[in-house]
Structure 1
Amino acid sequence: MDIKIMTDTGSDLTQDDKAKYDIIEIPMMVYFSDEEKGDFWEKIIQGKIAKTSQPSPELFKKEFLKAKEENYILIYISIASYLSSTYESANNIKNQIGYENIYIIDSLTASLSERLLVLEACKNKDKMNINDLINYLNEFKKKIKLYACIDSLKHLYYGGRISRFTTSIGSFINIKPIISLSSDGLKVVNKAIGNTRAVLKLIEIVKKENLNKDYKILPIYSYLIDNCEIMVNKMKKNNLSLSSCLPIGSTIGAHIGPYGFGIVYVVS
């Protein structure tokens, strides 16, 4: 039985990813309260707050029914359940459809780390039986880590992802919060005075890890690439193996703002 992979726009897949692996992508909604049209990042830089919402249940229903009618296995890898109710919504629709060959995996992460899990599913779907594949992906996702320095916690706060108390950590001038996304949830794990020291803290974090050498470190950024490139140069001087800088899309960018940069990597 054929296996198809589906995800949401929280994974920041590229067009090449989708074309190469024939990945089904469900859109999450990103919107501003003023409903004015305009460039997403320009509006964020102007100080406007974007909100996100889960995909329409009808989109899940359509794809799940198609899998049932055409008799193939569908694996849906969702944005972290602690960030969105998308995972819960997909499970509700699956129960309504009543098709046993739909498998829903909570990625426990988002953005380029969710993408990493999706691509891992694509590369292994023809190498394992379905039970082994699901077990493998559920173990692999625990090994993916994302750390990012962001300019402010206000976007996470207004998006309902953190408390007002946590937001106060990053409220001082030039204090850069460092957040993590992993199977342990969304956390503010550190802070630094300025971007230069934030880069040093990210290097310190990753050098303590037992990295899986089969996967390069993925440098990521939300809008401005400058800090990401500075980080890459400093990390290369520390003999770390990195890919080129990868952009974070609007679904996650809505919650971290325009000046975020960080790393995604896999541990052994």
Structure 2
Amino acid sequence: MDKIKLITDSTCDLTQELIEKYDIHVLPLSVHIGDKSYKDGESITLTEMYEGVEKGSAFPTTSQVNPQEFHDVYKKYLDEGYKIVSFHISALLSGTIQSAEIAKDMLETEDITIVDSKGVSGVLFLALVEAGEKIKAGGTLDEVVATLQETAEKVKLLVTFDTMEYLVKGGRVPKSVGAIGGFLGIKPLISIKEGKLEMVDKARGSKKALKSLLAFIDSTPRKKDSKVVVINSLDSEVNRAVISHLEKSGIGYHEIEVGCVLGVHAGPKLVGIFVLTD
């Protein structure tokens, strides 16, 4: 039976409980504010980061996991006899996959399989849970890789942003669009298609954005026994309403506050829904 190690990055937003349950190694991306750097999930919170922006500190930037970090972690598990499956944020959203590929080439091994999730956050979260269960059930390396790929493809998502400011400053939305959207109270509704963010609709105000999220929950078929993943970047009325709706509907869920790396691009009060379909 294959001895398999799952490795991922901090954009997966897995809970510590699930990381320990499936023995997953999570490599952090980095956040940079002025001349200071922080590993995602360490040393700085979303609240502190957003408060710093409001007070006029340098706007945060982010960077991928570097090849040397991958090399060192890969070598550790290879030396312990593992075959590695390394599953990461979309290559079109981060250079993390490229770093992983460089590290694999440095080690000159075929015992590392690198998989592009073509997504972020809940896409990785749900796929890693399924893969973790497959490993626990004695699945082969090929079966684990197939589980990751197939699950990621079946995750449907809808995310709404409370503000376009961070999307604009991060270069993901033109300034002109951000200015108009801010003035009109537009809340973009985003999904992911072929590894890229895609605006699927826009709502005028938070109430209409919430209505779209609830409609998405009610209309999206869920795989039996799979929980919905709800992400946020600080709590909000929209987030609370989504959680209330899930509870009233008897739908199991994981409520996750994203890390600072995703928070830099999302801005405060993002709410996202990820559903694993049949």
TM-score (norm: length of structure 2): 0.86
> What code does the residue aligned with 2:4 have?
I
1:213 Cα offset (Å): 3.0
Q: Tell me, in whole angstroms, the C-alpha distance in 1 between the residues paired with 2:204 and 2:148.
A: 37
1:45 Cα offset (Å): 4.7
Counterparts in 2 of 1:235 and 1:191: CA distance versus 1, 3 Å: farther
Counterparts in 2 of 1:161 and 1:92: CA distance versus 1, 3 Å: farther
1:169 Cα offset (Å): 6.3
Could you give the per-residue CA deviations for residues 176-218 of structure 1, whole angstroms, max 9, x where no partner exists? 1111135452111111122111111112233333322321222
Counterparts in 2 of 1:32 and 1:230: CA distance versus 1, 3 Å: same
Q: Tell me, in whole angstroms, the C-alpha distance in 1 between the residues paired with 2:90 and 2:245.
A: 30
Could you give the per-residue CA deviations for residues 82-139 of structure 1, whole angstroms, max 9, x where no partner exists? 1101111211221221111101111111123322222222111243211122122211
Aligned residue for 2:50?
A: 41
Whether contact under 8 Å (1:225, 1:245) holds in the other structure is no
Q: Tell me, in whole angstroms, the C-alpha distance in 2 between the residues paired with 1:84 and 1:166.
A: 23
Alignment of 1:53-64 (within 5 A): 53-64=63-74
Question: Which of 246, 268, 274 is residue 258 of structure 1 equivalent to?
Answer: 268
Could you give the per-residue CA deviations for residues 223-256 of structure 1, whole angstroms, max 9, x where no partner exists? 124321112224555x361425321111111110
Whether contact under 8 Å (1:156, 1:255) holds in the other structure is yes
Question: Which of 235, 242, 248 is residue 231 of structure 1 equivalent to?
Answer: 242
Aligned residue for 2:143?
A: 132
Aligned residue for 1:189?
A: 200
Whether contact under 8 Å (2:29, 2:63) holds in the other structure is yes
> Secondary structure of the equivalent of 1:125?
helix
Q: Tell me, in whole angstroms, the C-alpha distance in 2 between the residues paired with 1:242 and 1:174.
A: 31
> Secondary structure of the equivalent of 1:231?
helix
Alignment of 1:62-101 (within 5 A): 62-101=72-111
Whether contact under 8 Å (1:228, 1:245) holds in the other structure is no
Aligned residue for 1:12?
A: 13
> What code does the residue aligned with 2:231 have?
I
Larger mean CA deviation between 14-23 and 27-36 belongs to 27-36
> Secondary structure of the equivalent of 2:272?
strand
Whether contact under 8 Å (1:11, 1:113) holds in the other structure is yes
* Matched residues, number: 267
Moved over 6 A (4+): none
Larger mean CA deviation between 255-264 and 204-213 belongs to 204-213
Question: Which of 200, 204, 211 is residue 215 of structure 2 equivalent to?
Answer: 204
Percent of aligned pairs sharing the same letter: 30
> Secondary structure of the equivalent of 1:170?
helix
Aligned residue for 2:121?
A: 111
TM-score (norm: length of structure 1): 0.89
